[in-house]
Amino acid sequence: MELPADGIERRLDTWPVARLATLGPGGAPQQVPIVFARHAGVLWSPIDAKPKAAGELGRVRNVRREPRVSLLLDHYDPDWTRLWWIRLDARAEVVEAGADPALDPVVRALRAKYPQYADTPLFRDPPLLLRFEILSVQSWVASEDDPNLLG
């Protein structure tokens, strides 16, 4: 069955990780886990300073070439009555996060959601964000959603 609308909203605001699928140069899908925050209905993920390959990342090159991506939020649990997932079709864009004050609320949302950015720089050089415009949402939950339960 589907998750209730408020259960979807809550997870989009608070769930710490999503899996991003982009299309690679040969047209096959590629995946990577990402952190993200929601601001004004849009999801944002920074290219942060967690250790990564040098140079422009595959996810950035892929999004520049093909903006159609998938985002998956889900919970695995050995108790299979507690499984759920939320699948987003999204249009992705690479955004320079230089000196645009319009992005300040996005940066604040990311820092508020992830206290880890007190230690890990939020950006590399150049500062980049992936912006995800949500085009459609599908969800599934194994059993009745407990509104107090996020796991």
**Contact positions toward its own copies, by CB under 8 A?**
1, 16-17, 19, 21-23, 26-33, 50-52, 68-72, 74, 76, 78, 80, 83, 85, 87, 89, 116, 120, 140, 142-143
Chain centroid to CA 75: 14
Beta-bridge partner residues of 129: 46, 95
In the complex, least distance from residue 28 CB atom to its own copies, rounded to whole angstroms: 4
In the complex, least distance from residue 51 CB atom to its own copies, rounded to whole angstroms: 6
Contact (CB, 8 A) for 71 and 18: yes
In the complex, least distance from residue 7 CB atom to its own copies, rounded to whole angstroms: 16
Residue placing its CB nearer to its own copies in the complex, 80 or 101: 80
Contact (CB, 8 A) for 31 and 39: no
Residue placing its CB nearer to its own copies in the complex, 33 or 98: 33
Residue placing its CB nearer to its own copies in the complex, 50 or 100: 50
Give CA–CA dist 133/121, Å, rounded. 25
Chain centroid to CA 46: 9
Residue placing its CB nearer to its own copies in the complex, 9 or 77: 77
* Per-residue tokens: 143: 């059993």
In the complex, least distance from residue 100 CB atom to its own copies, rounded to whole angstroms: 26
Beta-carbon count within 10 A of 35 CB = 17
